[in-house]
Amino acid sequence: MADIVEEIYALKKEKHAIILAHYYVPDEVQEIADYVGDSFFLSKKAKETDAEIIVFAGVLFMGESAKMLNPQKKVLMPDRTADCPMAHMGTVASIAQARAAYDDLAVVCYINSTTALKAASDVCVTSSNAVTIVKKLPNHHIFFTPDRNLGHYVASQVPDKHFIYNNGFCPRHESIEPAAVTAAKAAHPEALFLAHPECRPDVLAMADYIGSTSGIIQYASASAQREFIIGTEEGVFYELTTANPHKQFYPVMGDQYCINMKKVTLDKVRNCLRDETNEVTLDETIRRKAVGVLDKMLELAK
Ligand code: 13P
Ligand code: SF4
């Protein structure tokens, strides 16, 4: 393992590359990354960087967003098949349908989406900025796509607007059920329950805190409490335990991992950087349309 890490560091230097990693990729990949963060933080880093190559240790929509924001850079994916199923649960046709039904409508697209879906939307959001951004929109009707759970959570925080929901969801977060949370709370009665807004509304109703991966980590780190039940993908445990060695973190249940994020291994990071393979390419016409919604997100999130 030491050899491969050395090789990655040498390649990064030689090629003037940067490695961006999401909190859900395996621990050893988070360890060698230049920046680890939530989707919002990583999109800002992708836009700002002056590196020539961006290796995106995450799923495809993240690499595509990086390419949209910084098209002159080479964006490489360690595993081209690491894709988020929810990104494909929204359709351009459903957006057209909503636009036909409502005059004063904004189409709000979660960043976990395809480039085509972004291109047909009005603004992009991530789990850490969705509430702030939707509150700033002048429109009364909001079509939220593709995640119904994040959509319902945002609606609960912005009650004066009318929401229409696409029916997508994250299979990983959706599988966390209230009964499992009840059991985890019974096993750890002192623990606070921190949940990602991709969880179902009946699970979020049981949470002491709701936020993005970064939000969960910041909340647990700042809290005087010492025990936490974590309602999101288990990759966040790496940062949670590194930053808080004296606190205890428990998953709600046993298999809280995203198979796509776990496809990103050190070998694949090294290979894509060494061979410059799995480059993200986008049709320029669609990219131009889609980048507008990401730029609008970066502007409105300020
Ligand atoms: P955040 O990193 O924005 O919390 O999103 C979680 C997620 O599911 C990314 O795919
Ligand atoms: Fe997609 Fe869920 Fe995996 Fe995030 S955890 S990448 S939303 S499948």
Phi, psi of 140 (to 5 degrees): -85, -40
Question: b/e map of 184-207 (b: 16 or more CB within 10 Å)?
Answer: bbeebeebbbbbbbbbbeebbebb
pLDDT for 1 beyond 80 = no
pTM greater than 0.85 (yes/no): yes
Q: Is the CB of 86 under 6 A from ligand 2?
A: yes
Ligand 1 midpoint to CA 110 (Å): 10
Ligand 2 midpoint to CA 191 (Å): 25
Radius of gyration of the chain (CA): 19
Tokens for 90?
Answer: 């929204």
pLDDT for 47 beyond 80 = yes
The answer to whether 239 and 30 are in contact (CB under 8 A) is yes
**Given this model, what pLDDT does residue 196 score?**
98
**Given this model, what pLDDT does residue 130 score?**
98
Residues with C-beta less than 6 Å from any ligand 1 atom = 38-40, 84, 112, 126-128, 170, 196, 198, 212-213
**Given this model, what pLDDT does residue 129 score?**
97
pLDDT for 2 beyond 90 = no
Residue of the CA atom closest to atom 3 of ligand 1: 39
In this predicted model, what pLDDT tens digit does every residue of 185-241 receive, in sequence order?
Answer: 999 999 999 999 999 999 999 999 999 999 999 999 999 999 999 999 999 999 999
**Given this model, what pLDDT does residue 42 score?**
96
Ligand nearest to the CA of 59: 2
In this predicted model, what pLDDT tens digit does every residue of 49-100 receive, in sequence order?
Answer: 999 999 999 999 999 999 999 999 999 999 999 999 999 999 999 999 999 9
Residue to probe by mutation, ligand 1, list 209, 213, 236, 260, most atoms within 8 Å of CB = 213
Tokens for 31?
Answer: 């360890």
In this predicted model, what pLDDT tens digit does every residue of 96-119 receive, in sequence order?
Answer: 999 999 999 999 999 999 999 999
Instruction: Report residue 128's pLDDT band, with 50, 70 and 90 as the boundaries.
Output: very high
**Given this model, what pLDDT does residue 255 score?**
87
Q: Is the CB of 150 under 6 A from ligand 2?
A: no
Q: Is the CB of 142 under 6 A from ligand 2?
A: no
The H or E element containing residue 125 is strand 123-125
Ligand 2 midpoint to CA 51 (Å): 27
**Given this model, what pLDDT does residue 235 score?**
98
**Given this model, what pLDDT does residue 121 score?**
98
Residue of the CA atom closest to atom 6 of ligand 2: 84
In this predicted model, what pLDDT tens digit does every residue of 166-183 receive, in sequence order?
Answer: 999 999 999 999 999 999
CA-wise closest residue to 46 among 79, 30, 69: 69
Burial of 102 (0-12, 13-18, 19+ CB in 10 A): middle
Atom of ligand 2 nearest to the CA of 233: 5
Neighbour count for residue 294 (Cβ, 10 Å): 21
The answer to whether 176 and 153 are in contact (CB under 8 A) is no
Atom of ligand 2 nearest to the CA of 259: 3
Q: Is the CB of 112 under 6 A from ligand 2?
A: yes
Mind listing the domains of the chain with CATH numbers?
2-82+261-282 (3.40.50.10800), 86-170+287-300 (3.40.50.10800), 172-251 (3.40.50.10800)
Neighbour count for residue 244 (Cβ, 10 Å): 16
| Alpha helices in 70-145, H assignment, sequence order | 92-101, 115-119, 130-136
**Given this model, what pLDDT does residue 94 score?**
98
Ligand 2 midpoint to CA 258 (Å): 6
